[in-house]
Each structure stands twice: as C-alpha cells, then as structure tokens.
C-alpha cells in the first residue's frame, strides 16, 4: 500500500502520481499545503517539500522523499511497465530531458507563471505582474518550439516510446495548462503529443483536479481540445 503526500498543482507531486498510476500502484492521496506544511510533515521530509511517498508494500515501511527519488524507487522496485529504456544512450536521453524540464522549464516557465498566478494567490502575496506573466509565456513558447522539433522525429519526447521524459514534461505542462497559458493551437506536434498523453488512463485523475476558487481553463480536462 502506498500513501502519497502531495499538492495537486505541484508539478513534482504530479510526476509521482503519474508514475504510481503507470506502475498500477494503488495509492491513498493526502493533501499537503506546500507553502504551509503541517508540523508532522517535517518528520517525513525535513525539507518540508512535496511529494513524499510512504511505501508500505514491503515488510519495512519506506519513506521516499521528492519526485526524483520516487520515480527511481518505483522504476527499481516495480520495473513493469518500464519508464526508462534499457540501453545507456536511451536512458541518457530520457534523463537529459527530465533535467531539462525539472530545471530549465521550472526556472523559465514555472518560476514566472506558477509563481505569479498560483503561488501569489495561495499565499496572499499580491496580484500577478502582467510583465512577468508575458515573459513566462515567451519562455513557454520557446519550450514548445523545442518540443515540436523533438516530436517531429519521434513519438515520445526522448525516443520512440512513452518514457519518464514524457511523464515529467506532461506533469509540468499540465499545471500551466490548468491556468490556461499553453497556446496549443500554434504548436500542433506538441498538441498531438499532449492529446495522446491525456488519453492515458494514468493521466485521468489529474484531469479531475479542481482547486477551490480557481477553476481550470475550459479545455483543461477535454481529451479532444
């Protein structure tokens, strides 16, 4: 049995949820406010960040902290279906793109759009800055351009098959998409890719997420958008 401590629109919590669903692990989700974690949560993760996975499937309960560790743990203990290719070149390409989204996309898109539109609202830090939102949207277009270039050559971001790279990219993009910021129609290859991902059974629970007082973009949950 698994317990995942998460916040619905945290891209890393979403990575953990997607990986658990792909690996067909039954999980109990426990809501955690990332910006104001409960005291008891620091016992699980002294850094105070989501996601944290409690893996109670074995004899000794395990606490796995942060998405990178959760994804690696699931891949190592539940290899089917694989989210990493078996050859070193394929694994390196998946990991290159995972880092691309976890670092570069995070610094250039999340830090602008999620911060202005989501974190400021949740933490009462004032109203969003239109200039910063514009800058984040420009960066987002550059990322969609790069994804389009990759997807012209292959069905998955990192290779012929769905991998951890697609999962991580979709987890990040889905948060920005909730806020209505992804100009899908200008990027048909990326749109077709995201359409395929939205149809995966593992993605379904993410599409049901609703933040009180902040409804998603009209097309957020549409499989055909």
| Contact residues: a copy of itself, CB under 8 A | 45-47, 55, 58, 60, 62-66, 68-69, 72-73, 76-77, 88-89, 91-92, 95-96, 98-100, 103-104, 146
Candidates 46, 52, 48; CA nearest to 20 is: 52
Pairing status of strand 52-55 against strand 2-6? antiparallel
The nearer residue to a copy of itself, 95 or 137, going by C-beta atoms, is: 95
CB of 198 to a copy of itself, least distance (A): 26
Nearer to a copy of itself, 71 or 203 (CB): 71
| Choice between 54 and 198, CB closer to a copy of itself | 54
Question: At closest approach, how far in Å is the CB of 165 from a copy of itself?
Answer: 11
Residue 40 exposed, middle or buried by CB count within 10 Å (0-12, 13-18, 19+) = exposed
Q: Are 153 and 170 in contact (CB under 8 A)?
A: no
Could you tell me what percentage of the chain is helix, strand and coil, using 3-state DSSP and rounding each to the nearest 5? 55, 10, 35
**CA–CA gap between residue 194 and residue 205 (Å, rounded):** 15
Closer of 49 and 113 to a copy of itself (Cβ): 49
Q: Which is nearer to a copy of itself, 139 or 220 (CB)?
A: 139
Does residue 51 have a cis peptide bond before it, meaning omega lies within 30 degrees of 0?
yes
Nearer to a copy of itself, 34 or 220 (CB): 34
The residues, any chain, with a CB within 8 Å of residue 95's CB and separated by 6 or more, are none
Q: In angstroms, what is the minimal distance from the CB of 46 to a copy of itself?
A: 7
Tell the smallest beta-carbon distance from residue 156 to a copy of itself (Å): 17
Pairing of β 2-6 and β 27-31: parallel
Cα–Cα distances (Å) from 155 to 78, 86, 112, 144, 159, in that order, read 24, 18, 29, 15, 7
Provide, rounded to whole angstroms, the least separation between the CB of residue 202 and a copy of itself: 22
CB 171 to a copy of itself: min, Å: 16
Q: What six digits make up the tokens of 147?
A: 């994804």
């Amino acid at each position: 049995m698994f317990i995942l401590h998460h916040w619905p629109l945290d891209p890393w919590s979403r990575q953990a949820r997607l990986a658990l669903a792909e690996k067909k692990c039954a999980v109990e989700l426990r809501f955690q406010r990332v910006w104001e974690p409960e005291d008891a949560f620091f016992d699980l993760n002294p850094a105070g960040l989501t996601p944290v996975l409690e893996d109670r499937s074995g004899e000794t309960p395990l606490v796995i902290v942060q998405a990178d560790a959760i994804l690696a743990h699931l891949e190592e203990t539940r290899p089917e279906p694989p989210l990493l290719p078996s050859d070193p070149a394929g694994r390196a390409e998946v990991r290159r793109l995972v880092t691309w989204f976890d670092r570069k996309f995070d610094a250039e898109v999340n830090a602008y759009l999620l911060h202005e539109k989501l974190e400021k609202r949740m933490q009462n830090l004032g109203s969003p800055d239109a200039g910063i939102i514009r800058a984040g949207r420009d960066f987002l277009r550059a990322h969609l351009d790069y994804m389009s270039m990759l997807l012209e050559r292959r069905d998955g971001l990192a290779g012929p098959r769905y991998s951890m790279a697609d999962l991580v990219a979709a987890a990040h993009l889905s948060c920005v998409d909730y806020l209505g910021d992804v100009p899908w129609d200008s990027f048909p290859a990326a749109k077709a890719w995201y359409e395929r991902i939205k149809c995966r059974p593992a993605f379904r629970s993410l599409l049901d997420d609703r933040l009180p007082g902040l409804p998603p973009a009209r097309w957020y949950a549409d499989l055909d958008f």
